[in-house]
């Protein structure tokens, strides 16, 4: 009833091809953005900003990057953590070694460095596929772990191998308070998500999807696999690299290579699988699921136990958190193998007919 496009006539191709052809969708997204930029800062306290929203935004960006590669181009990667690390450390080095380097420029350079490294580690994708490629990208993970642990130059010869940044500012805007950090991440994410959505809808995105669906057929109709695959690696690594720089600079402020370990790569891959492969929306769902759910469980369980007069030990809560989290992953994968994004679109389909399904 509410969600129906009756009466919305499209009189031009531009109307028909916009990102959200249905007016309700458009308003929903605009409303969501207005809420995120204006409503959230008014409502939310520091804990939610620092511990939930900022990590969620940053990992959404990373998941978006991984989704471009895995979901849209079909190249499985286990090296996302590595590209985050490259982005973070490259941005760090540009930031401290070049005097007066603007923050955004060092982020972009970090992303570009990560894209270059991504292209390099994407070369095997021209010859190997599927699980074998996953193993090849795992090499990127171990390589960067090794580089940032062993080569002191990258960490500015810090004795403990931990680097830190502070006094971040863009022109005269000091990014210090949680609100500033949140807005900064949100602004970057909005720009990059919009770019990603458009990229997947234009020629290059179609090439990626053609390669994903059947690379031999794609090649026969004239798509260059080398360009398509390597561009996917480059764009994906760029996104992931920017996310890495944000994770280091904005979220942690002081980090060591363990922040971008192989666990992080797995986490990002799970995000896109659970969220929905080949869906921009899915990246956000996946990030929310993986970032927020464990923390929510961790806080919800003791309260639930308290209700029945039980005190659950800290270890017990942690174990329960892992058990429930794992069970939910399995549940979602069985219930909807195409991810939460598919549930979302099924929901929308149903809503179109509501309340009179035939």
Partner 1 sequence: MKPRKLARAGIFAGAFLASLASASTALAQAKEQFFPVLVYRTGAYAPNGSQWANGYVDYLKLSNAKGGINGVRISFEECETAYATDRGVECYERLKGKNGGATVFQPLSTGVTFALTEKAPVDKIPLITAGYGRSESQNGAVFTWNFPLLGTYWVGADVAIQHIAKKEGGFGKLKGKKIALVYHDSPYGKEPIPVLQELGKTHGFEVQLLPVAHPGVEQKATWLQIRQQKPDYVLLWGWGVMNSTSLREAQSTGYPREKMIGVWWAGAEPDVKDVAEGAKGYSALTLQHGAEPNSKVVKDMLEQVYAKGQGTGPKDEVGQVLYMRGLLSAMLAVEGVRKAQERYGKGKVMSGEQVRWGLENLNLDQKTLDAMGFAGVMRPVQTSCLDHMGSSWVRVHTWNGKKWEFTSDWYQADEKTLRPMVMLASSKYAEEKKLKPRTPEECKK
Contact between 69 and 236 under an 8 Å Cβ cutoff? The reply is yes
Closest contact distance (angstroms) between CB of 302 and partner 1 is 9
- Pick the closer one to partner 1 by CB: 52 or 116: 52
Closest contact distance (angstroms) between CB of 149 and partner 1 is 6
Closest contact distance (angstroms) between CB of 336 and partner 1 is 15
- Pick the closer one to partner 1 by CB: 12 or 160: 160
- Pick the closer one to partner 1 by CB: 118 or 286: 286
Task: Note the residues at the interface with partner 1 (CB under 8 A).
Answer: 46-47, 50-51, 55, 96, 149, 159-162, 164, 166-167, 176, 251-256, 258-259, 261, 295, 298-300, 303-304, 306-307, 313-315, 317-319
CA 128-133-134 angle, to 5 degrees, is 165
Closest contact distance (angstroms) between CB of 224 and partner 1 is 40
Q: Which residue has the tokens 């149903």?
A: 350
- Pick the closer one to partner 1 by CB: 87 or 278: 87
Query: DSSP string of 136-169?
Result: HHHHHHHHHHHHHHH-GGGGTT-TTS-EE----E
Q: Which residue has the tokens 């941005």?
A: 91
3-class secondary structure, 10 = coil
Closest contact distance (angstroms) between CB of 345 and partner 1 is 21
Contact between 320 and 312 under an 8 Å Cβ cutoff? The reply is yes
- Pick the closer one to partner 1 by CB: 176 or 327: 176
CA 26-50-179 angle, to 5 degrees, is 60
Six-digit token pair at 284?
């956000």
Gap between the Cα atoms of 195 and 202, Å rounded: 11
Strands (E), the chain: 163-164, 169-170, 173-174, 254-255
- Pick the closer one to partner 1 by CB: 35 or 146: 146
Closest contact distance (angstroms) between CB of 346 and partner 1 is 16
């Amino acid at each position: 009833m509410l969600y129906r496009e009756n009466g919305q006539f499209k009189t031009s191709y531009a109307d028909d091809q916009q990102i959200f052809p249905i007016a309700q969708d458009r308003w929903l997204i605009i409303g969501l953005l207005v809420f995120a930029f204006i409503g959230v800062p008014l409502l939310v306290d520091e804990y939610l900003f620092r511990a939930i929203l900022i990590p969620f935004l940053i990992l959404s960006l990373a998941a978006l990057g991984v989704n471009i590669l895995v979901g849209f181009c079909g190249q499985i990667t286990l090296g996302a953590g590595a590209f985050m690390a490259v982005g973070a450390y490259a941005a760090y080095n540009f930031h401290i070694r070049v005097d007066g380097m603007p923050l955004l420029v060092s982020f972009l350079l970090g992303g570009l460095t990560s894209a270059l490294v991504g292209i390099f580690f994407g070369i095997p994708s021209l010859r190997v596929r599927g699980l074998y490629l996953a193993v090849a990208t795992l090499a990127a993970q171990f390589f960067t772990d090794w580089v940032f642990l062993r080569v002191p130059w990258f960490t500015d010869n810090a004795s403990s191998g931990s680097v830190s940044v502070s006094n971040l500012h863009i022109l005269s805007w000091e990014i210090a308070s949680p609100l500033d950090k949140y807005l900064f991440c949100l602004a970057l994410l909005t720009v990059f998500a919009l770019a990603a959505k458009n990229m997947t809808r234009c020629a290059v995105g179609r090439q990626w999807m053609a390669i994903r669906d059947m690379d031999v057929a794609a090649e026969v109709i004239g798509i260059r696999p080398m360009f398509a695959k390597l561009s996917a690696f480059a764009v994906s690594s760029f996104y992931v690299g920017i996310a890495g720089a944000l994770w280091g600079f904005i979220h942690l402020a002081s980090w060591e290579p363990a922040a971008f370990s192989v666990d992080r790569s797995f986490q990002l891959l799970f995000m896109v699988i659970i969220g929905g492969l080949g869906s921009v929306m899915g990246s956000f769902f996946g990030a929310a699921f993986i970032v927020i759910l464990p923390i929510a469980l961790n806080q919800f369980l003791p309260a639930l136990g308290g209700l029945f007069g039980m005190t659950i030990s800290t270890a017990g809560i942690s174990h329960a958190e892992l058990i429930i989290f794992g069970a939910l992953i399995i549940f979602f994968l069985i219930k909807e193998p195409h991810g939460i994004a598919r549930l979302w679109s099924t929901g929308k389909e149903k809503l179109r007919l509501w309340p009179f399904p035939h």
